[in-house]
Structure 1
Amino acid sequence: MSAAAPRLRVAVIGTGLAWAPHRDSLRDLSDRVEVRCFVGRTMERVAQQCAHFPGARATTSIEEVLEDRSLQAALVLTPPSTHLEIATRLAARGIHILLEKPLDVDVQRAETLVGACEGHGVTLAVVFQHRLRPAALRLRQLMDEGALGPLTNAAVDVRWWRPQSYYDAPGRGTKARDGGGVLLTQAIHTLDLFLHLAGPVVEVAALAATSKAHRMECEDVVTAAVRLQDGALATINATTAAFPGSADRIELSGTLGTATLVGGELTVCWLDGREEHAGAQAALGAGADPMAFSHELHRAVLNDFVRAVQTRSPPSASGRSALAVHRLIDALLLSAQSPNFVPLNS
């Protein structure tokens, strides 16, 4: 039996809203990962997190990470607008990166970030944990096998809820910090999984708005029609203005059956009368508490990242693969600004 691989030595950069599931994942995988350093805006905040990881040190300077030659990887959990600068500096130092979504605030910055990591030969994994849901893995297998037959149509629905207090936090829902609203911050997970399952989108027509439920800069309601590369048509609906919030839904219909993925549960109805089920429902953070979900999938992402770094193989959600959903979101928002609508006379 071969000896176990040494623990991956990591730094954690950012301990804000997204930190909790990563914290619990790092605890669970302490036999595979050693947290050496925390970086945050205030020493008080990062020092509190060090208490959970004996031996880790606290700092407010990323320079300490760059100067520590023992560090192999970093979890970057900071606001989107900071990702490009942090990731490019880490990559230049040869540090592998597990990056919270989105890659950055726009496609151009995202492409630059991915290019920098590839240029320096470091692993860049993105926290798209929905790809690792057991039900999603089963549906991906069915799609790879062509089991549903050619797709005829599809639908994506993300009907979530966020109270105004969520958007009252400084910078939230702004282009400067977050890069956008419901598409880039909430629906990005489901849209990424949709592309991962159904393949590329080649054409979009969209509407986007800020509803009367929120005071915010960016969109909280989007509806769109899209054409997939194989010619099938699909609809996309995304909002954070649907109280009380419900599980995200992807439905793929083919010539041999229909697969419906609701949250973590898959149902496949076959044309010949068979029915298949996989996965199970779980709390998903679709309502007022954005962190009301298990850290199980974040643990799977972290475990996959460690595997990718140690074996020098691709992660389940690479930076390059994550660019597809950024391009889709960019196209949806660009389409929503188009004046090409057909009026109906009453």
Structure 2
Amino acid sequence: MADTTENHQVAIVGCGVIGRTHADTISARPDATVTALIDGDAAARQALATRLTEAGHPEPKQYDDLTAALSGADISLVAICTPSGTHAALAEQALNEKKHVVIEKPLDVDLTRARRLGAAASRAAGHGVISSVISQHRFDPGSALVAQAIRAGRFGQLTSAVATVAWWRSDEYYASAGWRGTWAQDGGGALMNQGVHTVDLMLWFMGRPVSIQAQAIRAAHHAIEVEDTVVATLTFESGAVGTLHATTAAFPGGRTRVSVHGTEGGAEVEDDLLRRFNADNSTEDVPVEAERPGGHVAQYEDIFGAIGNGQQPGITVQDAIDALATVRAVYIASTLQRPVKFIDVLEGRYDDVEVSRGIGLPPN
């Protein structure tokens, strides 16, 4: 539990849809107040400020940029809710000012910036400053139960995993904001934007991959730069294998599912709820209540608890770097049309590969 004697003073950077989610989650807590809103769009700032005040919360100060906010407002934590390609630079700026940082997924779209942020986060941790990246589905009760069972060996030897994100996004969705569907700010398509949470869950369950091969295409949305459909196969350090699929070209939109399989059991999480759970060599499903996901509320509880207890949060910047490197490895493998080693991508040996040239129409 968080230390409720402390009043966390939070700045929200980016006042769009996800910024509202963070603001609502934070302002609902008795130990936290949104004290600053930062966005170059004055109308977006004002709309979120009005939302907070109409809900009975103090009116936050408003700023065009983070630099002004850091010098002008009382801030202990900065929540980064801007387009993906801006995350690392803003987070590093806040950490350099000894502010705790929460970054919306993904960590960034560029591994070089992500590694630099990782180093900054490590330095800041030495001064008691925490940093975390939103991956709220690790806090869903069903996903947590699966992870616990894996750590306890209740599924036996893990043999395989299957992860799929079958969603639909219209052309209007991509046109609704200039950064959507671009390499520079979105960093990728169906996998980077919609699928990164599922990638994170797969890594949490299965561990780091060793090698990855993939095919990424634009199947339906030809006005965007990035992929709308991708399929990959992964080999993990344990020897298990997995398949990963993400698409925004599955009208009218399907389900998100992660399943893990082992010699003594397995489980399936579908749309954030645990649908199947066998363990300890039993053929009977263990009854599972349909508990609702934990979401941002549960992750912020973990974050504020880490601050209050002087500990690292449940999800670190390094966890997010691993997820980003996996996504990048998928794009690189598709571009090069051959398997790539995860460690080579993680350590920067493929940083000069232009993945944009490898994403196109389905091959004839």
Q: Same fold (TM over 0.5)?
A: yes
Q: Which residue of 2 aligns with 1:216?
A: 224
Q: 1:128-179: CA deviations, max 9, x gaps? A: 0111001011111101101000011111111111111111131201011111
Aligned twin of 1:259: 267
How far 1:27 sits from its partner (Å)? 2.9
Q: Contact (CA 8 Å) 1:265, 1:277: kept in 2 or not?
A: no
> Within 2, Cα distance between the matches of 1:317 and 1:83?
16
Aligned partners of 1:330 and 1:44: how far apart in 2?
35
SS in 1 for 2:107: coil
- Deviation string 1:44-91 (CA, Å, 9 cap, x unpaired) is 321232231324111213223221473211111011121122111111
Q: 2:285 aligns with which of 275, 291, 297?
A: 275
Residues 113 and 340 (structure 1 numbering): CA distance in 2 closer, same or farther, change over 3 Å? closer
Aligned to 1:194: 202
Q: Shift in Å at residue 303 of structure 1?
A: 1.7
Match of 1:307 in 2: 305
| Matched residue type, 2:61 | R
- Are 1:81 and 1:179, in contact at CA under 8 Å, matched by a contact in 2? yes
- Distance in 1 (CA, whole Å) between partners of 2:145 and 2:239 is 24
1:103–1:113 CA contact under 8 A, matched in 2 = no
Answer whether contact 1:221 1:238 (CA < 8 A) is retained.
yes
Q: Could you tell me which amino acid in structure 2 is paired with residue 143 of structure 1?
A: I
Q: What corresponds to 1:287 in structure 2?
A: none
Query: Stretches of 4+ moved more than 6 A in 1?
Result: none
Give the AA of the match of 1:9.
Q
Q: 2:154 maps to which residue?
A: 147
Mapped partners of 1:224, 1:78: distance in 2: 28
Deviations 1:172-217 (A, max 9, x none): 0101111111111110001101101111110111111111344210
Whole-angstrom distance in 2 between the partners of 1:325 and 1:100: 13
How far apart are 1:248 and its partner, in Å? 1.0
Please say if 1:71 is aligned against 2:75. yes
| Cα pair distance change 1:226/1:129, threshold 3 Å | same
In 2: Cα distance, 1:184 partner to 1:325 partner: 9
Residue aligning to 2:41: 42
- The amino acid across from 1:107 in the alignment is L
Alignment of 1:12-91 (within 5 A): 12-29=12-29, 31-51=30-50, 52=52, 53-68=57-72, 70-91=74-95
Q: Show the counterpart of 1:288.
A: none
Q: Distance in 1 between matches of 2:243 and 2:156?
A: 19
1:323 is aligned to 2:321: yes
Equivalent position of 1:241 in the other structure: 249
Amino acid paired to 2:301? N
Q: How many equivalent pairs are there?
A: 326
Residue identity over aligned pairs, in percent, reads: 29
Q: What is the identity, as a one-letter code, of the residue corresponding to 2:170?
A: P
- Following the alignment from structure 1 to structure 2, what is the Cα–Cα distance between the partners of residues 81 and 37? 22
- Contact 1:248 1:262 (C-alpha < 8 Å) held by counterparts: yes
Q: Measured at CA, do residues 132 and 4 of structure 1 come closer, stay the same or move farther in structure 2, by a change above 3 Å?
A: closer
Q: SS of the residue aligned with 2:17?
A: coil
